[in-house]
Chains A and B, each alone.
Chain A
């Protein structure tokens, strides 16, 4: 059971120099097991901060975040994370990157190698096992990052604008790959993005966040009933309406965010 619960989460950002800023204000949200939820909002609204709190990288000061009933206490392989700029270990090959989490889990060697190879093939990187990240394109690097995170089989997958650094074509391909992976082995996913279309396409529900200090403004159901996939789905009326609805919600917050930028 990997349901996530946020209760009245507040967070103050304290830079080493300068004033403290209220980043999040009373965020409450429930994510059901195996649900794909997107956190959508303008820059600076705190959506990434919320993700980092969930991941256990920043301590929760006020409010509560629980996973499967237990409060979050530091990072854990149960909450795997994928970052926008890949965060791969540059001195390790593709294979070694993916093996890392498995080594940390104390998996025996033969099993590790087998599992790593499985995931390399899952993300279509067969043949690149011994390449270094610096030799790979952006899309390939992100696939390594995803494979590395998924290899330890986390119950929850956290994604921080994972396709933001990729060009439009690659991003579209990655969307399909992600959905295919999720169909094979469903997980609870919390996905941060500022791209409305991406949110509607990928997520079951989208939580729209306000400009700083971030709150949940509205939660919209985006599970598309259509049986169409890919290109076709993007052409449907259903999709267009959802995107429009969400865009209106986000637009006001985006304008507000522009105004408060210092």
Chain B
């Protein structure tokens, strides 16, 4: 168990470095603001932004916006996760499905899918449905690709061992293929979640209304720069929390994986 203690010490050191780096960042910001190289409008000082952040927090506006953004992001993400895994696994295992979707996926991957937003608005209106579906459309591609690769690249010999031990064709998918593909599938999910958040925020910025994206655009239109900065900090924090949460889930889910062991 010495390895675990060492890993713990390293984590603490890394966190300390991150905090230190963050402090340096805010210090640099504050010093630049105070030097008045840029106007108070362009670069409000840290206390002003912090105060604004606090104000929005206790008034409940911030939390409400965060909640709405997160709900839309999550629903879109979950749809992408379920659909993406189902599709990715099917592509790996069924030749006809692969023939049909392979070119679609490789063409679709590098396209800026955000360009489809006006189409989604045409089809689904200017409310939550189009936002959620846009999120799904954008974030499903990495899930498909990773689920496909993960299922396709299962160790042949491990599959053969399972067959030799008597697993039936139908049980094979759930008992062997999916658990074996899980590390790569989860990587796809880890890539997809930040994409889901970005896309949702862009949709909110474009369509307005409530949610972090809408609020930040409103503040911008009112030339409320402390508000804009406050929301950026809030969005950054939400993004960091989501990524960290995924990392924690990964470590728990993949406790058996060699990367967890050697960490």
Contact = CB atoms under 8 A, between A and B. Distances in A.
Interface string B238-257: 00000000000000000111
A89 B179 contact: yes
B164 A90 contact: no
> At the interface, is chain A mostly helix, strand, loop or mixed?
loop
Interface string B38-77: 0000000000000000000000000000000000000000
A87 B258 contact: no
B165 interface: yes
B164 A75 contact: yes
B182 interface: yes
Nearest to A55: B164
Contacts of B23: none
Nearest to B260: A134
Contacts of B158: 87-89
A90 B256 contact: yes
A148 interface: yes
| A-side interface size class | 20 to 34
B256 to A, nearest CB: 4
A105 interface: yes
Contacts of B198: none
Contacts of A85: 155, 157
A135 interface: yes
A87 B166 contact: no
B161 interface: yes
Contacts of A79: 164
A89 B163 contact: no
B207 interface: no
Contacts of B164: 55-57, 75-77, 79-81, 149
Nearest to A158: B164
Contact of B165 (A56, A93, A133, A148): A148
B165 A104 contact: yes
Interface string A49-89: 00010011100000000000000001111011101010111
9 contacts: A75-B164, A77-B165, A88-B158, A89-B176, A134-B256, A134-B260, A148-B165, A149-B164, A149-B165
Given A85-B157, A87-B155, A134 B176 contact: no
B205 interface: no
B160 A57 contact: yes
Nearest to B262: A134
Interface in B144-192: 155, 157-158, 160-167, 176, 179-180, 182
A128 interface: no
A101 interface: yes
B256 A132 contact: yes
